[in-house]
Amino acid sequence: MDVLLDALAYLRDADSWTGQGGMLELLVQQLLVTVTALAAAMLVGLPVALWLGHLGRGGFLAINISNVGRAVPTFALLAIFVAGDAWAWTGGAFPGTGTVGPYGRAGISTLVALALFALPPLITNAYVAVREVPPEVRESARGMGMSGWQQFRRAELPLALPLVMSGVRLALVQVWATATIAALVAGPGLGRVITDGFFRTDYGKGIAGAIVVAAVALVLEVLAAAVQRWLDPVRRAARTGERAVSPEVSTLEPAAREGG
Amino acid sequence: MTLLAQADDGPSCYGRLTNEWLCWDYVVDYRPEIVEATTQHVAITIVSVLFGLALSFPLALLARRLPRLESTVLGVSTGLYTVPSLALFPLLVPFTGLSATTVVIGLGLYALTVLVRAILEGLRAVPEEVRESARGLGYGDGRLLLRVELPLAVPVVMAGLRVATVSTVALTTVGSLVAYGGLGNLIAEGVQSNFRAQLLTAAVLCVALAVLLDVVIVAAQRVLTPWTRTAG
């Protein structure tokens, strides 16, 4: 168990955290990459999935496409993105290994790969969330003379929100954990601590990196769960004294994480 | 994908100067290496999923028996999920070394998360009146589970198995960290030597493999649940 003691020693050492390439810098870098990638995936995936759910059409296709997306290893995507000068033809618009802003080396490649990786859980959960709104709610909304957009905006969306959020929560934790893979192509983030420790057979360091990544993942999970509770329409109604309908929505399976 | 085989006397599409993404010559010349990597990939994936399955059945049954344990089982398996794959391997190496075992244990634990949930949900989906009828016919616990509950849970369990298998195929590539990543080894090599044909070929094979295994599982499900096909 010396390895674990080495890991603790590495975690206790202030030098591991500070300075250029220290764990703090890498942690912030990975958080930035994770949040940006997730936001991009939400902007692209959620509107499409929610609206398809509202129409009740094309969902089968959307869900199947996102399942195929699960089969694409993130490692392979990253590898293709950073293959030397592969993107010369974009005139530098897509810097394979370039450093852009605060995202570190190959940051943009990592962002794109992770955003693609986040799409399947987001799309699946959002689509199912809208489909699971009880039909009588939809009927009532229509009976009150609401237009399609109003039905969606005032009845379906608020009721679907908890399940949409659990998709976001899942994607957040998975993107954070998968971001470590960027280190395999010398990208940004804490994965570097793990691979470094590994290639120098300094397993204590590798395990220390793993512990930090897992700890932050747990913190993200707890924070996301708190936000999700706060957004729950039933609870909000209880807070503001309105009446609300509560659909008995069960949370979906955690979609499996692919990485690689 | 249409790959144009080069004429024999022409320059090859991979090499110091030409570095094409699609290159049939690469596939021809490196065939033994590709076959070996693919075989390793398939083996690691299947063994990992089976390992996860073997662990998740007793866990799910235990969680069902003792409701107090259920949240613990689900909590621990979800907690495992927050540990990134890349991190799991260094954690295991001091115990299992740089071996395929390390990769299989790591991936099996990931598959477990999805599978335990799927099995629990599948068993829950069995209607109570079906259980009652079976008990009325004199079925004991064991026979009830094997002959009634598990067969009826197959569709839900299989859905979980599909997700677990497809993800495991993708995750296996990360095993290249300990030199047992199947096609991931080719990808890692391709990154280091900037060998585009090898990169893309390995990536495409990964996806093809995932789709193929998915199809196999769906076919197996149809065979296992003949009653679902006669629903008229």
**DSSP calls for B26-47:** HHHHTHHHHHHHHHHHHHHHHH
The model's pTM: 0.81
Give the distance from residue B139's alpha carbon to the nearest chain A alpha carbon, in angstroms.
31
CATH no. of B31-222 = 1.10.3720.10
Please name the amino acid found at residue A113. Answer: A
Question: Is the domain A3-235 a CATH 1.10.3720.10 member?
Answer: yes
Q: Among A76, A203, A210, select the one facing B203 at the smallest CB separation.
A: A76
Taking CB atoms and an 8 Å limit, are A86 and B87 in contact across chains? Answer: no
Helix axes B67-81, A157-178, angle to 10 degrees: 60
pLDDT per position as a tens digit, B166-216: 989 999 998 888 888 899 999 998 888 888 888 899 999 999 999 999 999
Name which residue leads in pLDDT, A22 or A122: A122
* Domain limits, chain A: 3-235
pLDDT of residue A81: 85
- Overall average pLDDT of the A227-242 stretch: 70
**Which residues in chain A are closer than 8 Å to B207, comparing Cβ atoms?**
68, 71-72
Contact between A74 and A258 under an 8 Å Cβ cutoff? The reply is: yes
CB pairs under 8 A between A and B: 175
Contact with chain B for residue A27, Cβ under 8 A: no
pLDDT per position as a tens digit, B71-88: 888 777 777 776 777 778
Asked if pLDDT for residue B6 goes beyond 60, the answer is: no
pLDDT per position as a tens digit, A46-65: 998 888 888 887 777 877 77
Contact between A212 and A23 under an 8 Å Cβ cutoff? The reply is: yes
Contact with chain B for residue A50, Cβ under 8 A: no
Averaged pLDDT of chain A: 80
Asked if pLDDT for residue A101 goes beyond 80, the answer is: no
Task: Report the C-alpha gap between A206 and A171 in whole angstroms.
Answer: 25
Asked if pLDDT for residue B96 goes beyond 90, the answer is: no
- Overall average pLDDT of the B96-124 stretch: 89
pLDDT of residue A41: 94
Residue of A124, A27, A116, A39 whose CA lies nearest to A75: A116
- Overall average pLDDT of the A67-80 stretch: 85
Core vs surface per residue A169-189: b (16+ CB within 10 A) or e: bbbbbbbbbbbbbbbbbebbb
